Structure 1
């Protein structure tokens, strides 16, 4: 980008040209005054000459020693700063008080194409706001920092500081955060105290890259290979430092005579992906090379003891096995990663993995123990952690006596678990935010559609030509509303109406529906246990859970089968015997839904509860069924587990905690039939809604019920109508509105109308809103709603009496 240069010479030249005429005028004036006062021309001339001579000397001195100061108006020369920044690994940018970019390095332009001025370096509003806060803090405090900025594949730390003689600029530094690397760890290992200790133990060590050139070495190798412990051999070919005699023995090239043959152990540091299989040559990637002298020309046992000493010092999980696969040695890091308990001595690597992987591990050890030296990886599941696959690296070694295979295991179980948890939490959070936004906008549209359908149905009777069409539109709208509820369900934001109930009662209520859904080929079997404790949940949501599981089971049995639904008690003592890490000890009532279908493959079993994941054909499933089940169970305080035997069916077990509240002994009984007061009413209702279509249909519906309706577009207009002098009997308001939202409006309205009934309506979930609305005595109506539901909610909010039959 183009940059202005300062012109320092201009700061001095104008003053030099102006000073000479001024000094000459001063000399003549002084000489005239002397002549007037003394009346002597020679005296006046001498005085003037003296002044001119002194002025000439000053100008000559200023020319020899010019002032180094700059004019305040001079523009700084940023070329030096750019050159210094380009020589570093960081990107810099300089902005002025107005936020204009006045200087930037070339690296800044590569990371941020187009040279945008900080803080607007990306289109991410959150990041822009964070960098704006950094800028404000830097202008105020002198310096500010923001860590962990993500830019593409880069992770940057941002530092902003005031700079310049008058501190009128901000210097932005974008420094890449170095990610931990095994190669860096080995480099520090070799060049640090650990490398020195290896040298004292007689072990030479060097790290080479995939091209075979030396990247780092310990002092013992440098001394033997180059003759000096401070020699710089980085970048040299490792093979050039070695020689092989006619007997195939390995020596250092510098030790041509009298040198001892060496034993070479290769430890791969980075796995190289191979398209044709799991094996890769030991020369494909960076390696740690360990060399020891072979005493007497070949003491395998002595060499092995050297290697065992070395492996016990390394921070990597390493072990050695013989040609038959028996474990000879494991270091502490390997024991921790493999879950080997103190005092335990496993005989074979297969003893450390699950039964299904034992044959694969044994076969891999045998392959690497014979033939050319090769290395590769195999994914295994450890005995103590069967759910998390881990990479077991194998490398063939020769010349170490019984040792034939080097095993490497990295303890990344916690890292993998954390990554999965973060990914799942991030996914659920993103889906939850999407569901909330979609639900709000979608429910507004559905409210208008359903409301207008209700209004049209009031003008038609069954048998009219348009009646069935309108009924079909309303039916499809209700189906769309059900999809919205599913979105809210798996994000755990749906509105629940918990009751104390017994699971067998819920199963009985839904059995007739299941018989119709399952069809003739699937037989339904229901069994209930004894002494079941009551649970507290939403009966409607539990019915949806059972229906979703039953429909999935039906689809898994295309040729027919049996669907079995069981309820049984699970006391705390049995939970402890299960040794289930996820399920806390306590008393539960369990619901098991099992089928005799195709089963679920193990690689799919871990994904079935993820939203939008489905194995059905395109157009035959949304992927929301099981994720909805998962969300309802978790929001009800329960736990759900899936079990499957491929080809023999699958089972879903739900554990709901036994409810021990005050009303636990008397589960909820359906209230006696009662007749509410008619939905027709009188009074004045203030309706505040920013969506025109929702406001229009709600106004028409309430007007038809006999109410006088005043409307407003937002909270501010609603307060104006409220204070307009007309008595308001009920305030109905949307929650989320522009300018002033519903809760803010109600809080101000209650200051002057403390007893005003309030009915909130929103497309968001009630639980979600009640956490953020700190207002007492308000009713809630979820969208979408029908005309009759709105009339009933308005009647209840105004306190209409109940009339028992």
Structure 2
């Protein structure tokens, strides 16, 4: 083993002894610097625990630097000089991080005790027992360290634990890698409390005479400090995790609590129960015990409790019977936004005006009444409209202290609930918008169709011609709004391609510049190593245009003389996603698009509604309220995510994340050819057509349109009636040449009817027409060789569609 190598001073050459003397001088200087640093730190922050932690870390890093220094390493000419890895490991064991050293051959040279404890023995990075892609991230960090001198990897999972790793190249000739592993801080209050009680803080509590244990909701011990283990079993190193907590205690007929091991004449203890989850009456809790032998003054006991509360990550405070603050810890001050130098007298001073009286009454009731505990939903003066839970528990036997208050920082939880509620609301509104769009399309089909039929009877110049044409034009505008509703509801037809996002931004930026005022600057920046995305380029252009126009309007509304719009593309790695701490965005590789402006910003009460259809802050008649809803629908239908961030008077930023397309799609990665212009041709035709449509007005328009073009049309109001017409035909007698059918109908829909029709007539052509998008309907139409006609359509469009289907079939 490498740890068995010893540093032999007897074999040092004279020059080497000189270097050793120089090393001792440098070590003395380093020691003096560390002592001065410790003195300065204690003068600024008189905290013994912090001072000891700094001293341990400084000593560890100094020792590692000393033994890995090129001036102390063995040279090729001085084979008698060796590095004492045993001493290095002994020093490294004092650190509170996992340390390991590997050589260029990938062998483990040395590791400290924490490293072997966390990874079940002397495992070799990057071959640790990690989950997911942990070792892949470590291998990449190691290669980077060999190349650049240092590397890092974050979010390494092993069970419920997570670690961040740093790798540094070190040693004479850079022949070693030094691996640092540090536990990643978790927001789980139960895990934090377990780590606190079983670690250095628990040891400090034991030395202060406070016995601590963490129990689960089932009453079993999850963690304990040395003091509790000693009193409960007689041994500080006893492992009683998983045992029933109540088995180690007993109580007499007066309710006095003793340790079972102390027997009948043991010292009574006072027990404090601090719940870790206020939503569960019998959930996990922190149990604190102090000796109560009648000799401890109540003031001294209160000092001990306050010292203990100051170490806990929970927001805790003590009040007297009149509701005045006696103590609050740093976590309580942070959650309730108590500023430095501020000294509130009552808990109600931290609440909004409407909640002050309720909090004051509750605190006095808990302080003067019987022992009880509970929660009160309140709104902090700095917490906006989101309520927080103020936990209260009556305490006795601590002198003036009568009520224990607890506050939990649930801002992230509230943010997540808001995001989930918003996503759920947007999904429901999207479904509603899709259904409304379908009904609108049926109505617009009838209006446009009847306009076309009337225009056939009027020539330009007639008194009614212009009025009819105006009705048709407005109907077409309404059809455009319906398409935007379909975009929001994610039911439009997309033609995705594999593309580079900067190419789309470059194509549309010239058009966007023409839409901006001369006083507004447009800045476009592109990141490096961007991944491919799969999306409809035309729809992406609409997204950028809509966001750019909104940014322009925001700058103009701010009253500033000009402004700036920034469009940025950037590569987002999984570690970047983890750093965002966004519960909506899954971890993965993304290509991001950011559109920022220097406008007036979005008010907090409005930002949650901006993606809703028909919601607008513009004046009446100056906006439809469908711009951002269209953007939202296009992004979501393309598999992306969109978020809006803004502070009043500081502008707004829209962040869009598209998943990186992993595979090569040769068919869609090519530049799409523009649709060929349809040449005008004769729309007259002949044939026997079965028309199936449940909407009377649409069926009447389609029947009249096809009859005028020379077709023989038989109509049906649903799929069952259509099948009756098909099965009642004599073979060879007026056989139908084609079926034109709606998709969504009562009783029997179009696809179900078409499947049975194909069993009778396998070659019969079918044209589906619907107000829903083709892409949405293709999932429910499991048939080959079917055509699609979107609603609303004109007389000429349905005639042309029928003619093309029949021509293709007769080839």
Q: Secondary structure at the match of 1:798?
A: helix
CA distance in 1, matches of 2:640, 2:295: 70
1:751 equivalent in structure 2: 759
Q: CA deviation at 1:481?
A: 2.2
Cα 1:477–1:404 change in 2 (3 A) is same
Conserved 8 A contact 2:642-2:657? yes
Quote the residue 2:593 is aligned against.
591
Deviation string, structure 1 residues 82-110 (Cα, Å, up to 9, x no partner): xxxxxxxxxxxxxxxxxxxxxxxxxxxxx
SS at match of 1:774: coil
Q: Which residue of 2 aligns with 1:690?
A: 694
Q: In 2 relative to 1, CA 200–359 (structure 1 residues): closer, same or farther, beyond 3 Å?
A: farther
Contact 2:379 2:385 in 1 (8 A): no
Shift of 1:750: 0.7
State the Cα deviation string for residues 751-791 of structure 1 (Å, max 9, x = none): 11111111111122333333333333322222112233323
Determine the structure 2 residue equivalent to 1:715.
Answer: 719
Aligned-residue offset at 1:520: 5.8
Distance 1:649 1:792 in 2: 50
Show the counterpart of 2:491. 493
Which sits farther off after the overlay, 304-313 or 705-714? 304-313
- Cα 1:641/1:429, change in 2 over 3 Å: closer
Distance in structure 2 (CA, Å) of the matches to 1:311 and 1:363: 17
- Does 1:670 pair with 2:673? yes
Name the structure 1 match of 2:772.
Answer: 764
Q: Higher mean Cα deviation, 475-484 or 748-757?
A: 475-484
Corresponding position of 1:561:
562
1:441 and 2:444 are equivalent in the alignment: no
Q: CA RMSD in A?
A: 5.4
CA distances 1:39-90 after superposition (whole Å, capped 9, x unpaired):
xxxxxxxxxxxxxxxxxxxxxxxxxxxxxxxxxxxxxxxxxxxxxxxxxxxx
Is the contact between residue 391 and residue 405 of structure 2 (CA under 8 Å) also seen in structure 1? yes
Partner of 1:408: 406
Residue 316 of structure 2 aligns with which residue? 319
Which residue in 1 is equivalent to 2:664?
661
Work out whether 1:775 is the aligned partner of 2:767. Answer: no
Structure 1 residues 799 and 595: CA distance shift in structure 2, 3 A? farther
Q: Which residue in 1 is equivalent to 2:474?
A: 476
Contact 1:590 1:656 in 2 (8 A): yes
**Contact kept in structure 1, 2:325 and 2:345, CA below 8 Å:** no
**Match of residue 737 from structure 2:** 729
Provide the C-alpha distance between the structure 1 equivalents of 2:253 and 2:606, rounded to a whole number of angstroms: 51
- 1:8-60 Cα distance to aligned partner (Å, 9 max, x none): xxxxxxxxxxxxxxxxxxxxxxxxxxxxxxxxxxxxxxxxxxxxxxxxxxxxx
In 1, distance between residues paired with 2:484 and 2:345?
Answer: 50
Matches of 2:603 and 2:780, distance apart in 1 = 43
Q: Does structure 1 residue 701 correspond to structure 2 residue 733?
A: no
* Closer/same/farther in 2, CA of residues 309 and 675 from structure 1, 3 Å limit: closer
User: C-alpha offsets along residues 474-501 of structure 1, whole Å, 9 cap, x if unaligned?
Assistant: 2222232233233333332233222334
- Helix, strand or coil: the match of 2:772? coil
8 Å contact 1:684–1:727 — kept in the other structure?
yes
Return the alpha-carbon distance in structure 1 between the equivalents of residues 480 and 432 of structure 2: 16
Q: Does 2:635 correspond to 1:641?
A: no
Cα distance in 2 for partners of 1:525, 1:784 equals: 40
Contact 1:502 1:667 in 2 (8 A): no
Alpha-carbon distance in structure 2 between the residues aligned to 1:783 and 1:369: 62
CA 1:554–1:801: 2 relative to 1, 3 Å: farther
In structure 1, distance between residues paired with 2:524 and 2:315: 54
Q: Distance in 2 between matches of 1:448 and 1:537?
A: 33
Match of 1:302 in 2: 301
**Secondary structure, in 3 states, of the residue corresponding to 1:556?**
helix
CA 515–392 in structure 1, closer or farther in 2 if over 3 Å, else same: same
- The answer to whether the 8 Å contact 1:397/1:403 transfers is yes
Q: Please say if residues 320 and 404 of structure 1, whose CA atoms lie closer than 8 Å, have aligned partners that are also in contact.
A: no
Q: How far has the Cα of 1:430 moved from its partner? A: 3.4
Any conservation in 1 of the 2:527–2:571 contact (CA below 8 Å)?
Answer: no
CA distance in 2, matches of 1:728, 1:407: 81
The superposition leaves residues 90-149 of structure 1 with CA deviations (integer Å, 9 ceiling, x where unpaired) of xxxxxxxxxxxxxxxxxxxxxxxxxxxxxxxxxxxxxxxxxxxxxxxxxxxxxxxxxxxx
Task: Give distance in 2, aligned partners of 1:369 and 1:199.
Answer: 40
Q: Given that residues 686 and 709 in structure 1 are in contact (C-alpha distance below 8 angstroms), is that contact kept between their aligned partners in structure 2?
A: yes
Instruction: Work out whether residues 677 and 800 of structure 1, in 8 Å CA contact, stay in contact via their aligned partners in 2.
Output: no
1:572 corresponds to which residue? 573
Stretch moving more, 443-452 or 543-552: 543-552
1:634, distance to aligned residue in structure 2 (A): 1.3
How much has 1:703 moved relative to structure 2? 3.4
1:452–1:526 distance in 2 versus 1, CA, 3 Å: farther
Rounded to whole Å, the distance in 2 between the matches of 1:264 and 1:533 is: 56
Quote how far apart the aligned CAs of 1:295 are: 4.8
Distance of aligned partners of 1:729 and 1:642 in 2 relative to their CA distance in 1, 3 Å threshold: same
SS in 1 for 2:735: coil
1:594 offset after TM fit, Å? Answer: 1.8
Structure 2: unaligned runs, 5 residues or longer: 1-216, 218-244, 258-269, 280-290, 351-358, 364-375
Deviation at 1:636, TM superposition (A): 0.2
Instruction: Report the alpha carbon displacement of residue 593 of structure 1 after superposing the two structures with TM.
Output: 1.9
Aligned to 1:540: 538
Once the two structures are TM-superposed, the CA of residue 364 in structure 1 deviates from its matched residue by 4.4
TM-score (norm 1): 0.52
TM-score, normalised by the number of residues in structure 2:
0.52
**Separation in 1 of the partners of 2:549 and 2:597?**
11
The answer (yes or no) to whether the contact 2:378–2:387 under 8 Å persists in 1 is: no
**Does the 8 A contact of 1:266 with 1:397 survive in 2?**
no
Change (3 A) 1:449 1:654: same
- Taking a change above 3 Å as real, the CA distance of residues 796 and 509 of structure 1, as seen in their structure-2 partners, is farther
Q: Label 1:615 to 1:675 Cα distance change in 2 as closer, same or farther (>3 A).
A: closer
Matches within 5 A, 1:80-91: none
Matches within 5 A, 1:365-380: 375=363, 379=379
Q: Which one of 335, 339, 344 corresponds to residue 359 of structure 1? A: 339
Correspondence for 1:67: none
User: What is aligned with 2:630?
Assistant: 628
Alpha-carbon spacing, 1:308–1:294, altered in 2? closer, same or farther (3 Å): farther
Aligned to 1:600: 602
| Cα 1:367–1:387 shift into 2, 3 Å | closer
1:412 CA displacement: 6.4
- How far did 1:640 drift? 1.4
Question: In structure 1, what is the equivalent of residue 213 of structure 2?
Answer: none
Deviation for aligned residue 1:568: 2.4
Distance in 1 separating the partners of 2:253 and 2:550: 65
C-alpha displacement of 1:421: 6.2
Distance 1:699 1:524, change over 3 A: farther
Contact 1:556 1:598 in 2 (8 A): yes
Deviations 1:386-433 (A, max 9, x none): 998734458999984696973313586797577546644553453244
Alignment of 1:228-307 (within 5 A): 295=294, 299-302=298-301
Q: CA deviation at 1:802?
A: 14
Distance 1:408 1:533, change over 3 A: closer
CA distance in 1, matches of 2:392, 2:620: 42
Q: Deviations over 1:715-767 (max 9, x none)?
A: 23322333423132221101122333212211111111111111111122333
Moved more, 725-734 or 583-592: 583-592
Distance 1:799 1:569, change over 3 A: farther
| SS of 1:446 mapped into structure 2 | helix
Distance 1:456 1:507, change over 3 A: farther
Q: 1:369 to 1:758 in 2, by over 3 A?
A: closer
Alignment of 1:117-156 (within 5 A): none
SS at match of 1:359: coil
Map Cα deviations across residues 648-670 of structure 1 (whole Å, 9 max, x no partner): 21111222233343228943232
Segments of 5+ residues of structure 1 without an aligned counterpart are 1-184, 186-192, 206-261, 272-291, 330-345
Deviates further, 643-652 or 769-778:
769-778
